[in-house]
Amino acid sequence: GEDVEQSLFLSVREGDSSVINCTYTDSSSTYLYWYKQEPGAGLQLLTYIFSNMDMKQDQRLTVLLNKKDKHLSLRIADTQTGDSAIYFCADFNTDKLIFGTGTRLQVFP
């Protein structure tokens, strides 16, 4: 079945950029999403990208999509301590979201 993979952990210094990567297997994806989850909380939609787009920018967030390689990335510019959380990419497959394994982002001073 559909598989979505992410690296488990990323540590960055405050003020630097963070890049979280995601790979997926579904060749018929229409939309791909990035969600943020803080401890003990639900998921907050950060951004999404349509599959015919290469890039989408929204303030500090930049999403890059390489459809040929089935690779998605989320860049967070000027990372702050408040950005520390788990980030999930998700692939919209037919009628449901398939989530990646999640990347825990830790921001240190």
Partner 1 sequence: GAVVSQHPSRVICKSGTSVKIECRSLDFQATTMFWYRQFPKQSLMLMATSNEGSKATYEQGVEKDKFLINHASLTLSTLTVTSAHPEDSSFYICSASTAFPGGYTFGSGTRLTVV
Q: How far is the CB of 63 from partner 1 (least distance, A)?
A: 12
Q: What is the CA radius of gyration of the chain?
A: 13
Closest CA to 15 of 60, 67, 55: 60
Structure tokens at 73: 């990335």
75 strand-pairing partners: 19, 62
Of 65 and 100, CB closest to partner 1: 100
d(CA 31, CA 49): 6
Q: How far is the CB of 8 from partner 1 (least distance, A)?
A: 9
Of 14 and 62, CB closest to partner 1: 62
Q: How far is the CB of 15 from partner 1 (least distance, A)?
A: 27
Of 17 and 30, CB closest to partner 1: 30
51 secondary structure, DSSP code: T
Site residues, partner 1 (CB under 8 A)? 30-31, 33, 35, 40-45, 48, 50, 88, 92, 95-102, 104
